[in-house]
Every structure is written in C-alpha cells, then in structure tokens.
Amino acid sequence: MTDALPARSRLVAASLEAAGISGKIVVLPDAASTAALAAAALGVEVGAIANSLVFWSDDAPLPIMTSGAHRVDTAALAQRLGRGGIRRATPEQVLTATGQPIGGVAPTGHPAPLTTVVDEALAAFPEIWAAGGTPHTVFPLTFDELVRLTGGAVSRVA
C-alpha cells in the first residue's frame, strides 16, 4: 500500500515506521492544504489538526506544529524561546528545509532533523492529524507520538 503513495509521503511513511508510530498515511480525494479543509475532510475538530507551519528564526528553519485552532504569536513565542525573532519562511525556504510543499509539510521526512516547537494545546486531543508530505495526505498520531517523532519542545504558541 505504501508504494501507491506519492514519493514525499513514502519518505514520511518510512520515518513513521522507523519511529514505531502505527498511524498510516491516508490519501484524501481533495487537497487539505489548510487546517479547516483537513478537519472537514476527516470529520474532526479543527483543533485536532497538527498544522505544520515553517518559520525562520536565528538564520534557520523553525517548524511549529500548532493546533489548527490557533495562530502563532511569533513575538511572544520568540520571547518565550529566547530567540531573536520569528518570521514566516518563504515557500522556497520551506521546500528547501523540509523537502515538502506548503500545505503538505509533515512533522517528519525532512532532508535533515529540524528544531521543532509543538503547541501544548494539541495535548487536549486523544488523536491528532498531521500532513503526510503533500496537500493530499494526512496521518493520525497522538500528542506524545508527535513530540517523540519531532523531538519537539512543547510550548504555548498562541
């Protein structure tokens, strides 16, 4: 079944398997490039979508896995993390850092490990969904699995 996935999603699936995460990638008929679209396609609350947003901070990519119900408060988060500032990455920076397009960035399957922040609000959901490397692919996992998978720092981001 993994062979039928897009190439980028196969990399994500391999990373999930290597991490011992049992959630399988689901291919959606329509693109779910926003948290609202993903939630509607899956029939879940928008807050249960682990929205992968890539920012740039201190000359490096900074993926933030945020609840789909939140907007990242970059000024407050930069202060909380002791960073010089946080700004949105360009589409080119996102693709270079993750190997994945905006709207489909997974928390894993990147060319190199990335320092990641995980929104503490995602812990409120027994199951969360993240992008699987393309805007048409998603997969389920738990908050603890997301933190372990990314090696992420848990923080309030809104």
pLDDT at 55: 97
CA atoms of 21 and 119, how far apart (whole Å):
19
pLDDT of residue 2 exceeding 80, the answer is no
pLDDT band at 3 (very low <50, low <70, confident <90, very high): confident
- Compute the distance between CA of residue 71 and CA of residue 139 in angstroms, rounded to an integer: 22
Rg of the chain over all Cα atoms, to the nearest angstrom: 14
What is the structure's pLDDT at 4?
A: 86
Cβ-based neighbours of 34, under 8 Å, separated by 6 or more? 103
Mark residue 108 as left, alpha or beta (left: phi above 0; alpha: psi -120 to 50; beta: remaining): beta
User: How many Å separate Cα 7 from the centre of its chain?
Assistant: 18
CB 98 within 8 A of CB 105: yes
pLDDT digits (tens, 9 = 90+) for 10-69: 999 999 999 999 999 999 988 888 899 999 999 999 999 999 999 999 999 999 999 999
pLDDT score of 1 more than 80: no
Q: What is the pLDDT of residues 77-95, one digit of tens each?
A: 999 999 999 999 999 999 9
Taking only the tens place, the pLDDT of each residue in 123-140 is: 999 999 999 999 999 999
Burial profile 26-45: b = 16 or more Cβ within 10 angstroms, e = fewer: bebeeebbebebbbebbebe
